[in-house]
Amino acid sequence: MIRFFRAHQLLVFFALTFILSWAIWIPLAMNYYGIFPVRIEEGFVMLLRLFGTLGPATSAILVSVLAGGRPAVRALLGQIGKWRVRWKWYAAAALVFPALALASAGIYSLLPGAQQFPAVDLTAGSLIAIMIILTISVMGEEIGWRGFALPRMQQRWTAFVSSLMLGTIWTAWHLPFWLVLGELETFGPGYWLMSWAFIMAGSVYITWLMNNTGNSLLMVILFHWCYNVLSVGFLPVSSIVPAYLILIVLAGAVAIVVSGPYGRKRLGWKKYGNKTILSG
């Protein structure tokens, strides 16, 4: 059994991630549409939504334990402590995609008939709550997706191909979560294709960021967290389809830019390349 886990770590990781998250989110989606046998209260729904985001990290830790024991887990979580990178990578992680969101909102506001973005009722307390929840959810995702899966995928495929594959899996994983948010009724299924395109661009950018910082999972978490805090707490660009389309185009352009001089094979300079951290 242990030999099987070591030989098929990616397969086991993805399967377990979907099982853990969807086992929570599918009943929530059924509850949203009124077909779940028991009515789940809204406060409990929010808590369960958060638990579902822990599926990737939980799966990554479990597979690491089975495949390599404590050293494998230490190697996995140790990537979070890689903070000794140049300041420009902190800027790339924290500022670029929030800047794209702000630019998208600005461009959209210049269009004829532009709508007002939904007002976010934000207080100091709600902002702190958002930041805590997003810290948990982002770590729950990225410990699995980039801490565990991405390095192993780059052992088999190029950095660019790995990014596209992981981005597609990442999108599919979100589907029942998006059902719970009511996106299907609000925007229709085409909106999910837009989200897939945005996630693909973000996935390429994240790989570029990670490969140029020596597998710093901290940079990836910072990237994901900063964008989510802006989009959830201040500027929900994705809530207006034309503005979201502009953001997708800008994000795609950035993904193309970083795929050029850095090379699609590595998405990074030779100093780091697609260096992976594997154990077990």
Query: pLDDT per residue over 53-105, tens digit each?
Result: 999 999 999 999 988 889 999 999 999 999 999 999 999 999 999 999 999 99
CB 274, CB 267: distance < 8 Å: yes
- Residue keyed to tokens 């991630």: 17
**Would you state the pLDDT for residue 208?**
94
Cβ-Cβ contacts under 8 Å for 53 (sequence gap 6 or more): 21, 136, 137, 140, 141, 177
Mean predicted confidence (pLDDT) in 262-269: 62
Does pLDDT of 279 surpass 50? Answer: no
DSSP string, 52-72: HTTHHHHHHHHHHHHHHHHHH
Does pLDDT of 258 surpass 80? Answer: yes
Mean predicted confidence (pLDDT) in 41-46: 88
**CA–CA gap between residue 65 and residue 49 (Å, rounded):** 26
DSSP string, 162-208: HHHHHHHHHHHHHHHHHHHTTHHHHH-THHHHHHHHHHHHHHHHHHH
Does pLDDT of 268 surpass 80? Answer: no
**CA–CA gap between residue 82 and residue 75 (Å, rounded):** 11
**Would you state the pLDDT for residue 262?**
56
Mean predicted confidence (pLDDT) in 218-225: 98
Share of the chain above pLDDT 70, in %: 91
CB 77, CB 279: distance < 8 Å: no
**CA–CA gap between residue 193 and residue 22 (Å, rounded):** 20
Does pLDDT of 277 surpass 50? Answer: no
Q: What is the pTM of this model?
A: 0.91
**Would you state the pLDDT for residue 43?**
84
CA dihedral 211→216→219→223, nearest 10 degrees, is 60
**Would you state the pLDDT for residue 174?**
97
Q: What is the CB neighbour count within 10 angstroms for residue 249?
A: 16
